[in-house]
């Protein structure tokens, strides 16, 4: 079976983690501090605070911006549930925004229609690795949190994605652009990032009030640093795979993502079908290829809300096929052939 996603682990990664384990310094320490420096340099931002996951990063970014009870936060409906959880954990109310058919992130026009005096922030994901233009969201006049969970390594007009909002978040989950098993970060201006560093820990702090432990271990940070050093090679390989898919699928019956002026790093290669993805997914599985719906289920469906036509359309036509650096060209061809056969049927 060709897996839907798989991390690229090299001997150098293993050696870096082993060295940390041998050192006995397992918990947050110099590797976490080193990862924070590496990320800030890579993303052209003042500072980074490394935390335990992308979801924790979103929650702590919102808290750093003083978003809480009485606020609304604009988020896409067509996205993983992490955003909804982060907003509700802060005590704020998520306001769902319909999808943009081109970027597959949230629609700036629909976001504008849903802004109120209570809007405390908007979370803008660079969905599936495509860096979106932040300008229309900045124009909403509320703090923008850039969600780079799927887009580490992407550029917008020569600037790394993650440097244009009030804050940005990253994820180092096992399937992401760089993998540490779990992990995340908040990046941006030093004063806001300092609030995240303060909030991720509970030890020896006054007063005794609700706090959390959202720290990353040095073992994970060492793996993330080792992977970050290879990010450019990962992005190049993902782009080469995408180009090969585009060529192989050019005359088939599914829509394929363009490279959007090299803004796309292809965390996911999402194809648009003319039919229900479940049938195609089953046909691919029968030919040894694991494919997934790119979003499990849009949030508006879980909440019984209506008025999200574009997200509905995406949910009922989009399918994510394997795309990761460890995929061999022969496997890319096998996936493409299986997809062509499945959509032809
Ligand atoms: C766009 C987006 N934001 C946030 C997250 C949450 O990241 P994590 O799984 O590290 O909590 C994910 C995870 O899939 C994601 O895709």
Bridge partner list, 289? 2
User: Is residue 85 a contact partner of residue 62, using CB atoms and an 8 Å limit?
Assistant: no
Predicted pLDDT of residue 329: 98
Establish whether residue 82 lines the binding site of ligand 1, counting it when its CB lies within 6 angstroms of any ligand atom: yes
Structure token digits, residue 247: 């060529």
Quote the pLDDT of residue 260. 80
Q: What is the distance in A from the centroid of ligand 1 to the CA of 129?
A: 12
Question: Are the C-beta atoms of 48 and 187 separated by less than 8 Å?
Answer: yes
Protein residue with its CA nearest to atom 15 in ligand 1: 149
What pLDDT, on a 0 to 100 scale, did the predictor assign at position 345? Answer: 67
Q: How far apart are the CA of 207 and the centre of ligand 1, in A?
A: 31
| C-beta atoms surrounding 334 within 10 Å | 17
The answer to whether 168 and 51 are in contact (CB under 8 A) is: no
52, 97, 146, 149, best to mutate for ligand 1 pocket (most atoms within 8 Å of CB): 149
Query: What are the structure tokens assigned to 303, written together?
Result: 């909440």
Tell me which of 80, 128, 161 to substitute to probe ligand 1's pocket, judged by most ligand atoms within 8 Å of the beta carbon: 80
pLDDT in tens, the chain (345 residues): 999 999 999 999 999 999 999 999 999 999 999 999 999 999 999 999 999 999 999 999 999 999 999 999 999 999 999 999 999 999 999 999 999 999 999 999 999 999 999 999 999 999 999 999 999 999 999 999 999 999 999 998 889 999 999 999 999 999 999 999 999 999 999 999 999 999 999 999 999 999 999 999 999 999 999 999 999 999 999 999 999 999 999 987 899 998 888 899 999 999 999 888 999 999 999 999 999 999 999 999 999 999 999 999 999 999 999 999 999 999 999 999 999 999 986
Atom 12 of ligand 1: nearest residue by CA position: 149
Q: Is the CB of 153 under 6 A from ligand 1?
A: no
Terminal-to-terminal C-alpha distance of the chain: 21
The architecture of the domain spanning 231-343 is Alpha-Beta Complex (3.90)
The CATH architecture that domain 11-228 belongs to is 3-Layer(aba) Sandwich (3.40)
Domain ranges of the chain: 11-228, 231-343
Please indicate whether residue 150, judged by its CB atom, sits closer than 6 Å to ligand 1.
yes
Residues 6+ apart with CB under 8 A from 24: none
Those residues whose C-beta lies under 8 Å from the C-beta of residue 210, and which sit 6 or more positions away, are none
Pocket test for ligand 1, best of 75, 78, 82, 123 (most atoms within 8 A of CB): 82
């Amino acid at each position: 079976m060709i897996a839907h996603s798989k991390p690229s682990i090299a001997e150098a990664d293993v050696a870096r983690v082993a060295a940390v384990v041998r050192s006995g310094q397992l918990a947050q320490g110099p590797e976490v501090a080193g990862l924070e420096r590496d990320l800030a340099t890579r993303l052209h931002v003042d500072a980074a605070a490394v935390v335990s996951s992308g979801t924790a990063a979103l929650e702590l970014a919102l808290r750093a911006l003083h978003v809480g009870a009485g606020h609304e936060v604009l988020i896409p409906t067509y996205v993983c549930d992490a955003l909804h959880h982060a907003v509700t954990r802060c005590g704020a109310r998520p306001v769902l925004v319909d999808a943009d058919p081109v970027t597959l992130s949230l629609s700036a026009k629909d976001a504008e229609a849903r802004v109120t005096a209570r809007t405390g922030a908007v979370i803008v994901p660079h969905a599936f690795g495509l860096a979106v233009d932040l300008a229309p969201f900045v124009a909403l006049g509320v703090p923008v949190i850039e969600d780079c969970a799927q887009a580490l390594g992407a550029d917008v007009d020569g600037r790394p994605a993650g440097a244009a909002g009030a804050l940005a978040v990253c994820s180092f989950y096992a399937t992401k652009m760089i993998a540490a098993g779990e992990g995340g970060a908040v990046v941006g201006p030093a004063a806001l990032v300092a609030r995240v560093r303060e909030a991720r820990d509970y030890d020896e702090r006054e007063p005794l009030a609700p706090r959390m432990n959202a720290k990353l271990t040095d073992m994970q940070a060492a793996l993330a640093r080792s992977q970050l050093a290879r990010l450019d090679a990962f992005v190049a390989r993902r782009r080469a795979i995408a180009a090969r898919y585009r060529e192989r699928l050019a005359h088939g019956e599914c829509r394929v993502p363009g490279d959007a002026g090299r803004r796309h790093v292809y965390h996911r290669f999402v194809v648009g079908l003319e039919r229900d993805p479940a049938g195609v997914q089953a046909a691919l599985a029968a030919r040894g290829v694991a494919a997934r719906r790119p979003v499990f289920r849009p949030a508006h469906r879980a909440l019984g809300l209506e008025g999200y036509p574009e997200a509905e359309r995406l949910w009922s036509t989009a399918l994510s096929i394997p795309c990761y650096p460890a995929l061999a060209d022969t496997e890319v061809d096998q996936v493409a052939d299986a997809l062509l056969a499945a959509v032809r049927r």
